[in-house]
Amino acid sequence: MSPFSLFLAVLALAVCQCVVADSCQNTTISSPSDADLFVSCDKVEGALTVSESFDGVLNLTEISRIEGDLTVTNVGGITKINLPALEKVEGTVTVTDNGGLKNLTLSGLQSVSGKLTVQGNNGLSYVNLQDLEDVEGGLALVGGFSVSLPNIDEVNGDTTIKGADMSCGVFDRLAADSVFTGSYSCSASSSGLSPGAKAGIAIAVILIVCIIAAGIWFCLRRRRTVAGPTDEGDVEKTQYHIFNTKSILRLPRKPFPPKQPSESVPMLDGRMILEATPGERRERRPIYELDAGPQSSHQRPINHE
């Protein structure tokens, strides 16, 4: 092979590598390893479809343009779709009926030539479409997620927005400004409480529990104070806090009376002592004894003087 032919072959190989690096063909992604083949792709020439057998996170950080449809439907194992650099889809964007999907990030998406549909994803709680400006085929956002469109300029086609956390007031103002050129409907009926309401209820419950606990503690403390101390330590503590010995008025101590001289006092026994006045003579009476004999008198003298 001549040097010139070798040069042409190397040049052709380099051109092919550049083409492959800058664009990828119409394809279906079946696994996260297939998505790794798009690391060097700037655009997809055709449609990009995620197979129902896909399981895991779809992460395509380099793709900025899809020249066809973007379809993710009935993929139960997918949990996250992340295409932050995607700016334009020249077809439809359909993300529907993916039970395990929780996060949809299309933060750089600006224009969709067809209809943009996100619905039927029961676990989806986060949708990022902050740079979306133009949708040509209509808009359908249905689910239990919240979404805002701060940069939206025009939606040609029917617009349906429905969900528990949708801010219909914002979309109503957009409709009043003729952003939605077709039919428009928004429903934010909620089967549950909003996060703000749930947080308020939780705080109120905590405050009520604290108030009840404080009331019980106050009642127990007051009852214990009224009942008095229960042990010696409490007695000393209570006396220390209640009484101030310096503030008690003390009366002057009276001297004890002097002792009287003691006289000899006769000791008394258990017999009765009768004191007679001077010069008085007591008459001695006879002493009778009870007798159960046949005499008519129940008394007879036993001592005569």
* Among 134-138, 227-231, 279-283, the range of highest mean pLDDT: 134-138
The residue length of the chain stands at 305
| Mean pLDDT (whole number) for 243-258 | 63
Task: Summarize the chain as % helix, strand, coil (round to 5).
Answer: 25, 25, 50
Bridge partners of 31, per DSSP, are none
- Identify the domain boundary among 223, 244, 270: 223
In terms of domains, do 73 and 200 share one? no
In terms of domains, do 213 and 171 share one? no
CB 182 within 8 A of CB 157: yes
In terms of domains, do 156 and 205 share one? no
CA-based nearest residue to 124, from 103, 93, 139: 103
* Among 9-18, 37-46, 100-109, 234-243, the range of highest mean pLDDT: 100-109
| Mean pLDDT (whole number) for 250-277 | 60
In terms of domains, do 95 and 38 share one? yes
In terms of domains, do 82 and 183 share one? yes
In terms of domains, do 130 and 215 share one? no
Element (H, E) at 165: none
CB 44 within 8 A of CB 69: no
CATH number at residue 153: 3.80.20
Model pLDDT for residues 101-135, shown as the tens digit of each residue: 999 999 999 999 999 999 999 999 899 999 999 99
Q: Starting at the edge strand that comes first in sequence, how are the strands of the sheet with 103-105 ordered?
A: 55-59, 77-82, 103-105, 126-128
Would you give the DSSP letter of residue 180?
B
In this structure, what token pair is assigned to residue 84? 């932050």
Q: How far apart are CA 150 and CA 167, in angstroms?
A: 12
CB 87 within 8 A of CB 65: yes
- Has residue 21 got a pLDDT over 50? no
- Has residue 244 got a pLDDT over 60? no
Q: Is residue 240 part of a domain?
A: no
Q: What pLDDT score was predicted for residue 296?
A: 54
Q: Is residue 151 part of a domain?
A: yes
pLDDT band for 38, please (50, 70, 90 cuts): confident
In terms of domains, do 52 and 184 share one? yes
Segments forming the whole domain that contains residue 39: 23-192
Q: Is residue 29 part of a domain?
A: yes
Q: Is residue 299 part of a domain?
A: no
Model pLDDT for residues 73-100, shown as the tens digit of each residue: 999 999 999 999 999 999 999 999 999 9
Q: How far apart are CA 9 and CA 12, in angstroms?
A: 5
Q: What pLDDT score was predicted for residue 9?
A: 53
Q: Is residue 164 part of a domain?
A: yes
pLDDT band for 283, please (50, 70, 90 cuts): low
Q: How far apart are CA 22 and CA 29, in angstroms?
A: 18
For the chain, the domain total comes to 2
Q: Is residue 126 part of a domain?
A: yes
> What SS3 string covers 99-147?
CCCCEEECCCCCEECCCEEEECCCCCCEEECCCCCEECCCEEEECCCEC
Q: Is residue 10 part of a domain?
A: no
Q: Is residue 242 part of a domain?
A: no
Which residue has better confidence, 16 or 34?
A: 34
Q: What pLDDT score was predicted for residue 17?
A: 43
CB 155 within 8 A of CB 181: yes
In terms of domains, do 95 and 215 share one? no
Q: How far apart are CA 120 and CA 98, in angstroms?
A: 7
As to burial, measured by CB atoms within 10 angstroms (0-12 exposed, 13-18 middle, 19+ buried), residue 93 is buried
In terms of domains, do 68 and 199 share one? no
In this structure, what token pair is assigned to residue 180? 């939605």
CB 164 within 8 A of CB 189: yes
Q: How far apart are CA 78 and CA 42, in angstroms?
A: 23
